[in-house]
Amino acid sequence: MIVTGELDWTDRSVFVTGATGLLGGWLVESLVDRGASVTCLVRDEVPASRFHREGIDAKVTTVRGDLVDGVLLERVLAEREVRTVFHVAAQAIVPVANRNAMSTFDTNIRGTWLLLEASRRSPLVTEIVVASSDKAYGHQPVLPYTEDMPLQGRHPYDVSKACADLITQSFASTWGVPAVITRCGNFFGGGDLNFNRLVPGVIRDVLRGRPPEIRSDGRAVRDYLYVQDGAEAYIALAEALRTDPSLSGRAFNFSVEQPMDVLSVVQRILDAMGTDLVPAVLDSAPNEIAEQYLDASLAREQLGWYPAVGFDEGLRRTIDWYSGHLGSDP
């Protein structure tokens, strides 16, 4: 087993894509707390993001640009003398991918290979962590998902993550690019501004005093991982790769391993918020796989990673964050 959490990040030059997103903000904050010198690629100004709202941006170097600008990526990696890359930027909203697949493919697939190519041409880069997803597995006849299962996503978002995952494996196998892959369930936590996602959407509805709307039929079973546990998983995997370069090209699942159906998650939120509001089940979400959840035993055994927060405590922290930032104003 590789023991992580003991490596020095002080003044280490780190590049993070997707810093204004849910995971990105928490990951950047954790890296800064470890003393890393962090450079973030930011495409759009998102004033409401934790990255800006909580002053994380003041502690890092921000580069304005698009992930599909390969020249920019190569320049930043060279000029900032980057050693570690965390690639978490993506178009991550499934309904958006279903409506506008081309922009999703462009960002999630082309953006990934451009960043990997820039990293291949940057000799100082020694570890790259690329975000895949449990969605990359698609429908499987046996659950939970394990890392040796084929990637067989069928719908636009799922396919984009499967492609990015396989491209990362290709760069590692063909050119020895030092890259590893994360496959996580559904992140939740304070700072998620995509309110069509289940957890923030329900919390906001309750704070507004209206019945929460459930897009699906409520029976879909999913993994839920608190975002700080997710950020620590990414850092643990980067440390493992730094310690053992032979991990390059491998993927790891990260999960609390407590799959829940949508209505159960909603009820736990309603109970925690002390409301008797009744959810409205719309059953309007297309292309939903009935059950998706992960086996994280490989991460436990080889990385020594365990979730430190868990679902219930993470949910309490998440509700507290939105209560403080949204209040009850209409």
Angstrom CA distances, 231 to 20, 24, 66, stand at: 14, 8, 23
Bridge partners, 181 (sequence order): 130, 251
Closest CA to 43 of 71, 67, 14: 67
Cβ-based burial of 206 (10 A; exposed 0-12, middle 13-18, buried ≥19): buried
Find the largest Cα–Cα distance for the chain: 58
> Is residue 309 within 8 Å of residue 224, measured between CB atoms?
no
Query: CA 115 to CA 126: how far, in whole Å?
Result: 14
Paired tokens of 165: 């995952």
Closest CA to 255 of 144, 151, 159, 173: 144
* DSSP3 helix / strand / coil % (the chain, rounded to 5): 45, 15, 40
What SS3 string covers 111-122?
HHHHHHHHHHCC
Pairing of strands 251-254, 186-188: unpaired
Q: Which of 157, 224, 226, 234 is catalytic?
A: 157
> Is residue 139 within 8 Å of residue 152, measured between CB atoms?
yes
Query: CA 233 to CA 253: how far, in whole Å?
Result: 10
> Is residue 227 within 8 Å of residue 22, measured between CB atoms?
yes
Tell me the residue length of the chain.
330
Check if 293 is active-site: no
> Is residue 25 within 8 Å of residue 40, measured between CB atoms?
no
> Is residue 86 within 8 Å of residue 13, measured between CB atoms?
no
Catalytic residues: 157
